[in-house]
Amino acid sequence: MAVAEICIFPLGTQTPSVGKYLEPVFEVIKESGLKYMTCPMGTVVEGDIDEILALIKKCHEAIFKTGAQRVVISVRIDDRVDKELTIESKLGV
């Protein structure tokens, strides 16, 4: 199980506020069924590498459907095989 943070920004929008472009992306993440945590600089999800990569593809589709012309997607994946990795374990909970 990996933990990944996904951060997406559209470029070239009319205003610096990009919330409306990100709403469909949040919907895709919620509908994915993966455990997630909304953070100020991105959304963190739990899943295996295939689930995470499939989600990135859906996020990519969702934001371009909003009409965004250019998008920067930053993903950081933490994965380990020696023990279970979860959002809680990463939070030290």
5 binds its own copies (CB under 8 A): yes
**Contacts of its own copies in 35-64 (CB under 8 A):** 37-42, 44, 49-50, 53, 56-57, 60, 64
> Residue 53: CB partners within 8 Å, gap ≥ 6?
none
Among the listed residues 79, 52, 66, 78, the one whose alpha carbon sits nearest the alpha carbon of residue 9: 66
Dihedral angle sign, alpha carbons of residues 63, 67, 68, 69: positive
27 binds its own copies (CB under 8 A): no
Judged by the rule CB under 8 A, the positions of this chain that interact with its own copies are: 3-5, 7, 9-19, 37-42, 44, 49-50, 53, 56-57, 60, 64, 69-83, 87, 90-92
